[in-house]
Amino acid sequence: MYPFAIAIHGGAGTITPASMTPEQEKAYKAALRNTVEAGYATLAAGGSALDAVEQAVVLLEDVPLFNAGKGSVFTKDGRHEMDAAIMCGKNLDAGAVAGVRSIRNPITLARAIMDHSDHVFMSGYGAEEFARKHQVAFEPEEYFYDAFRHRQWREVRETDLFVLDHTVDEKFGTVGAVALDAEGNMAAATSTGGMTNKNFNRIGDTPVIGAGTYANNKTCAISCTGHGEFFLRAVVAYDVSCLMEYKGLSLHQACQQVVHEKLVEFGGEGGLIAVDATGEIALPFNSEGMYRASKKQNQETFVGIYK
């Protein structure tokens, strides 16, 4: 039996400590704690890493505090377009969606693509048609509306700026989960509304296998958050896995090299969560903070926001 473990994130970057009210901090920490403990309970009951990461991401998508599902940021044309991906480390199965609208839980659609189609990656209208066929839940446009996100968007909508949900004070982002189950299988899942005022049909790193999301039982499971354009070009998640597989680095060494050296030199702000086959967890970020939580078998729950 493997020492099962789970880690989650709610985006790299945070409200600065000075402007975070105690109520806000409490709300974020409670959402992170509840989510990681729910995923942990699934693993403790013998559930798979794949089910635990999907469940954790669904819970975070349903909380408007985070930029995924309900509470997703606004695109340049004032709508919500969501990206998500899930990957199974046992057989390298993967499912991903980009630019979907009105899907309550994009991660569930990514899972349905993985489980019920011969494809890996679907986008836009075709992905939504697939969702209808597979009874994936839809919500009206208003469901995704969040007054705070709308204000963020109004501040930049007349410009060509597209802003990371966490580069400006008071911002937070993408959600993700990674897990190792008792059978030794790993999985990763990530979901996002992307970046505020992004061009419509812009796709970030989140749903791209190897960039924002990756899992392989040989090495690790990874879910990223940060400025997607940089994470795409640096193929971040796969890079961590490759450093372990080909160079024999440990999880922590590989994460250090990618997040604190390569990405920093490159200008890529953000972080990631990772777990390896021994249940070791790494939560590195080069931004001001990263909403994060983890729980290893028979250990206390860890919840963190700042460095």
Catalytic residues: 174
Asked if 210 touches ligand ASP (CB under 6 A), the answer is: no
**Measured between alpha carbons, how far is 281 from 132 in angstroms, rounded to an integer?**
37
Q: Which of 99, 204, 210, 284 binds ligand ASP (CB under 6 A)?
A: 204
Please, which residue, 116 or 200, has the CB nearer to ligand ASP?
Answer: 200
CB of 264 to ligand ASP, least distance (A): 17
**Measured between alpha carbons, how far is 307 from 304 in angstroms, rounded to an integer?**
8
CB of 161 to ligand ASP, least distance (A): 14
Q: Which of 226, 279, 284, 289 binds ligand ASP (CB under 6 A)?
A: 226
Asked if 107 touches ligand ASP (CB under 6 A), the answer is: no
Residue 19, number of CB atoms within 10 A of its CB? 10
Tokens of 284: 């590195």
Q: Are 39 and 49 in contact (CB under 8 A)?
A: no
Stretch that binds ligand ASP, among 23-31, 33-41, 155-163, 203-211 (CB under 6 A): 203-211
Q: Which of 205, 269, 276, 288 binds ligand ASP (CB under 6 A)?
A: 205
Q: Which of 230, 303, 225 is nearest to 271 (CA)?
A: 225
Q: Which of 81, 128, 165, 181 binds ligand ASP (CB under 6 A)?
A: 165
Asked if 195 touches ligand ASP (CB under 6 A), the answer is: yes
- Strands in 5-12's sheet, in edge-to-edge order, are 121-123, 94-100, 82-88, 186-192, 175-180, 5-12, 289-296, 302-306
Q: Which of 111, 299, 247, 88 is nearest to 180 (CA)?
A: 88
Q: Are 284 and 260 in contact (CB under 8 A)?
A: yes
Q: Where along the sequence are the contacts to ligand ASP (CB under 6 A)?
A: 11, 67, 164-166, 173-174, 192, 194-195, 204-206, 212, 225-226, 228, 231
